[in-house]
Chain A
């Protein structure tokens, strides 16, 4: 089974891109599974189910979404294998820009959109900077010049990645993207694999449900801002 992690900022077009990718893979008669991770609520699983693929949904609720992802992804891969999927795609949003679901030796895709602004590529951490393939969406509504500037900014922070423009509405570019999937590594299990980058840590009183504000309520891993102006 070929497994791919797809991530990206909220509203970048991850679900649309995956839907177009599914259509292109189905043209090649492939059996596909999708795991959708979200926080509170999602209807995307019904969109996926309509295409006839197998779907699993995971909502992290009160937990950190990316910690939830990494605690569950191994079981999802096993589920995909047991259902004889040829392709398994996980979709998760990078909500804090410091998280990344990407796993070593597993093809990692980051979806980012032209409307998010030219400084956005710099602001996104390992989710973008360690991805193998960067998909840029919404290129049909911004000028060619802005597309070129945006792509060069992405290239600057991840010079090794393959960068592709995909139209999530018409699907232009999706077929081409799937031709890269053929090179994704074939796996049976995630046992023994490691994340490409550690996840951000907290472990402070607020992780355990504290809501009161003030130094006396703060214990554990707490860090303070530098408030003094440097001379």
Chain B
């Protein structure tokens, strides 16, 4: 539908087709009711004194509404699916060339290793900004093998990267259920109830301890929070890339968490020094002095050791559960 028609048809129709207009108007401290007048008429009759009290002018409101509606109409035309992400090397802090070109695909896990300050954040920032040789590293990022649409840089709806790190907390005063509902509404998904149920179920599968839909998100344990964040990222975030920063001590089933993101076709980037997580990856990028010094591909010998590491991990997990249920560990 064209914008001009939208302004001229009766509000009853406009508000029914575009319910978010009411929310937009409300967010400026105004009220709007469905009647037979048009949206244009509504804007024309607003009292200038009232607008000034609200810190608004008619022109500004009109401009914002135009931008908002154009954005909403554009949102209906989704961007192309991200089938691959290419990172073309630039240079490290000493100016030496990074000699690589890397293609990441949905469902693949790439681990990023290296000491603090080595340049992990810069790599992530390059990807998030879809760098075109215009950042300090001189790297280039391609999407589907091509120089990407600038939308990926600035659009809030089409963020390339969704992040999860150890430092993240929930700060809203909402229950888990209300929280997911709110996120779903902000993403304009068509079936919020279904998403809420799906995310709650999956989060509970990942968390060591179960939580109820009416638990406030701020009361969730560290593990439960992480589980909810990962499930939400898998099912509600539209970002094709999931960036995970050190979740080793998060108290969740790490393998299930990773598999969930892989199943949802995310390109997973994970900063980790946990051997199990590192061996689950398809490759490891070794970062030194601001540059990618080496790319280690997953190999058979390492994969075989993964099984042993998992057995060791399961033994520790069993001990942890015994401690939780009040047992003693004189006998291992």
Alpha-carbon distance A202/B41, docked complex (angstroms): 32
Verify if A179 is at the interface (C-beta below 8 Å from B): yes
Residue of A nearest to B180 (CB): A145
Alpha-carbon distance A21/B182, docked complex (angstroms): 33
* Closest CB in chain A relative to B43 CB, distance in Å: 15
Partner of B23, one of A129, A145, A148, A156: A156
Partner of B168, one of A27, A140, A160: A140
Cβ A144 vs Cβ B233 within 8 A: yes
With contact pairs A144-B232, A145-B229, A151-B156 given, residues A159 and B170 touching in the complex (Cβ less than 8 Å):
no
Alpha-carbon distance A129/B60, docked complex (angstroms): 9
Cβ B156 vs Cβ A155 within 8 A: yes
Residue of A nearest to B164 (CB): A144
With contact pairs A145-B232, A163-B156 given, residues A152 and B135 touching in the complex (Cβ less than 8 Å):
no
Set of chain B residues within 8 Å of A175, measured between Cβ atoms: 125, 135-136
Set of chain A residues within 8 Å of B135, measured between Cβ atoms: 175-176
Set of chain B residues within 8 Å of A95, measured between Cβ atoms: none
* Closest CB in chain A relative to B199 CB, distance in Å: 10
Cβ A153 vs Cβ B169 within 8 A: no
Set of chain B residues within 8 Å of A145, measured between Cβ atoms: 179-180, 183, 229, 232-233, 236-237
Interface size counted on chain A using CB atoms at 8 A: 44
Cβ A126 vs Cβ B55 within 8 A: yes
Which residues A139-191 have CB closer than 8 A to chain B?
140-146, 148-149, 151-160, 162-164, 170, 172-173, 175-176, 179
Verify if A31 is at the interface (C-beta below 8 Å from B): no
Alpha-carbon distance A158/B27, docked complex (angstroms): 10
Cβ B172 vs Cβ A118 within 8 A: yes
Alpha-carbon distance A176/B137, docked complex (angstroms): 13
Which residues A104-137 have CB closer than 8 A to chain B?
114-115, 117-118, 121-122, 125-126, 129-130
Residue of B nearest to A150 (CB): B186
* Closest CB in chain A relative to B164 CB, distance in Å: 6
With contact pairs A126-B55, A156-B24 given, residues A144 and B163 touching in the complex (Cβ less than 8 Å):
yes
Most chain A beta-carbon neighbours within 10 Å: one of B125, B157, B187:
B125
Partner of A148, one of B63, B68, B154, B183: B183
Verify if B52 is at the interface (C-beta below 8 Å from A): yes
Set of chain B residues within 8 Å of A114, measured between Cβ atoms: 171
Which A residues are closer than 8 A to B by beta carbons? Answer: 27, 97-98, 100, 114-115, 117-118, 121-122, 125-126, 129-130, 140-146, 148-149, 151-160, 162-164, 170, 172-173, 175-176, 179, 197-198
Return 26 A-B CB contacts under 8 Å, by A number: A118-B172, A121-B27, A129-B28, A130-B60, A141-B168, A142-B168, A142-B169, A143-B164, A143-B169, A143-B170, A143-B232, A145-B183, A145-B237, A146-B171, A146-B172, A148-B156, A148-B183, A149-B183, A149-B186, A151-B156, A152-B186, A155-B71, A156-B23, A157-B64, A170-B121, A175-B135
Sample of 13 further A-B pairs with CB below 8 A, known A141-B168, A153-B186: A115-B171, A129-B55, A142-B169, A143-B169, A145-B180, A145-B237, A152-B156, A156-B68, A157-B27, A159-B70, A162-B154, A173-B125, A175-B125
